[in-house]
Structure 1
Amino acid sequence: MAILRAIDKGGAEFVVCANTIVEVMHARVNLPRLQWALTQVKVEPVTEESAKAAAGLLKDTGLHGRKYAIDATVAEMALRQPGPVVMLTSDLDDMARLCGGQVRLVGV
């Protein structure tokens, strides 16, 4: 919540890839809190065009398979946002490969 407030104060936009919603879901998620948080951010859909671009990222980096599928869609979404872009991620290594130097990565 503090991150959302800081981003809002700074005039930036907090954007989430729709696949991230799937990725964060587990039995202990507080669903009402997640739903509220999603009302505070812009959720970018995964379209056919964005999926093809994400597949291209996988091909370009030599990654493949379901292990990297969601990461690729998140990276693709980040790469098409107007810059500068900062990504909060728990997967610095894979995101660095997928985003190159175009996105500033912050570990969480």
Structure 2
Amino acid sequence: MNEHVETVVLDSQGLSAWIAQDRKILVMFQVFHAMGADLVIGANTIVEVSHTRVNMPRLRWVLSRVKVEPVTEDAAKASAELLKAAGLHGHKYAIDATVAEVALRQPGPVAMLTSDIDDMARLCGDRVRLIGI
């Protein structure tokens, strides 16, 4: 990755991979760190990655190193507008829309680590560089 990014947003798969210490993700994070990029998640992504087998000490450590953006009423309304503009609706896309909204309000250039390139492309357009994981 040669292009500079200011902010890297993680969806649930990106956050889960970091918690699991996935080597590919850790190498990417070294590159982002060298760029001085901020790592960001939406608050509801914490809920999405939490389950009985998650390593809670590791999750807490990861959360101490990432900026957690709130999902406020205004953010929810903006997320709903993104869904509408993309022709999507329903709970299947709700969290994706909030992650996209978080990405779109960050200082750019913005990249996103996501397992859902297709839906995120519909929600973010060309304003966020999508990196598949």
Fold equivalence (TM over 0.5): yes
Structure 1, unmatched stretches of 5+, are none
Deviation at 1:90, TM superposition (A): 0.7
SS at 1:14's partner residue?
A: strand
Q: Indicate the structure whose relative CO is greater, using CA pairs within 8 Å and at least 6 residues apart.
A: 2
Deviation at 1:64, TM superposition (A): 0.5
Write out per-residue CA displacement over residues 14-60 of structure 1, whole angstroms, 9 at most, x where no aligned residue.
11111111111222211110110000010000000000000000111
Matches within 5 A, 1:1-80: 2=26, 3-80=28-105
Q: How many residues align?
A: 108
Please tell me the root mean square deviation across aligned C-alpha atoms, in Å.
Answer: 1.2
Partner of 1:100: 125
TM-score by length of 1: 0.93
TM-score by length of 2: 0.77
Deviation at 1:7, TM superposition (A): 2.3
Percent pairwise identity: 68
Q: List, as ranges, runs of 4+ consecutive aligned residues in structure 1 with deviation greater than 3 Å.
A: 3-6
Alignment partners' CA distance in 1, 2:70 and 2:89: 21
Higher mean C-alpha deviation, range 65-74 or range 9-18: 9-18
SS at 2:58's partner residue?
A: helix
Structure 2, unmatched stretches of 5+, are 1-17, 19-25
Deviation at 1:101, TM superposition (A): 0.7
